[in-house]
Amino acid sequence: MIEGKKDFLTVNDFSKNALMGLLELAMKMKKDRKKFRHSLDDKKLGMIFTKSSTRTRVSFEAGIYEMGGMGIFLSSNDIQIGRGETIADTARVLSRYLDGIMIRTFSHNEVKELAKYAGIPVINGLTDLLHPCQAMADMQTVIERKGRVEGLKVAFIGDGNNVAHSLALLCSKLGVNFSIASPEGYDMNPAIIEKIKSNMAVSGAKFVTTRDVKTAAEGADVLTTDVWASMGQEKEAEARRKAFAGYSIDSKLAALAKPDYLFLHCLPAHRGEEVSAEVIDGPRSVIFDEAENRLHAQKAIMHELMR
């Protein structure tokens, strides 16, 4: 299904058909959880965390358990990377013990290096550049609610960060129009933008970057955002609040989207900052379906890589 790929580092490594196949598998696994409960019997997933998490840890650990395997939590304090062992050596050693590695860390280059030297699959649980598992869960949620993704419009309001990068890349692969409104100085990575444009030249979808939140949100099928200051950016929090003033999804902005729009948020959320309570807790919000779908999307990825 995923074309002989060993790792899941970015959605951009996969074709539209492969990505849709993973999403369809995720929905099958959600519908019939018992059917897949022995698919990874006795398999072991090492879970490296240099960034703490609620959803990533619990969803991966529960997911591997539901398929008959086990997850082993490894914080930076638990392994020798935190004391100077090279990533290459860590990758080689863990490959002798485990059947797969999930890593949630800061530098994307660390994940690439881990995958380079590991003899087992590596899954990107999050880096400062990308968050591919979240994007898969997001798109699964949209498919479940809309019945399709191709031709829809996704509008992201806020920081052109790792969440925006992976979601835009996935949209560009699947033929989903993507617009993003960000304040000056918080645009998406230029190299990621080039990949998005290249993908959309093939898929036929449209990509819009703007400073105007109304332009981005108008006619959207999906509205989404992320916190203004992510983990590791605490010292920038006040400066970011000032920069992102006016980049909040409230009911007035949401009124520009389609009446049946969906609201997504990867969580955790700060009500009153990037989104108002009336939107995130309102009838168009599907944030908890989205959070649940991290489990199912990641189960599909592990199922395909670790068998």
Residues belonging to the active site: 104, 131, 134, 226, 266, 294
Distance CA 226, CA 266 (A): 7
Distance CA 214, CA 157 (A): 10
What order do you get walking across the sheet with 44-49 strand by strand? 70-75, 44-49, 100-104, 122-126
CA dihedral 142, 49, 107, 154 (to 10 degrees): 10
H or E stretch including 44?
strand 44-49
- Whole-angstrom distance, CA of residue 222 vs CA of residue 257: 8
Alpha helix ranges (H) inside 84-131: 87-97, 108-117
Q: Which residue has the tokens 């919000």?
A: 285
Comparing CA positions, the residue from 179, 120, 190, 133 lying closest to residue 9 is 133
8 A C-beta contact, residue 111 and residue 127: yes
- CA distance from start to end of the chain: 12
Half-sphere exposure of residue 306: CA atoms within 13 angstroms, side-chain side? 30
> Which residue, chain included where needed, has tokens 């000056």?
184
Contact 46, 207 (CB under 8 A): no
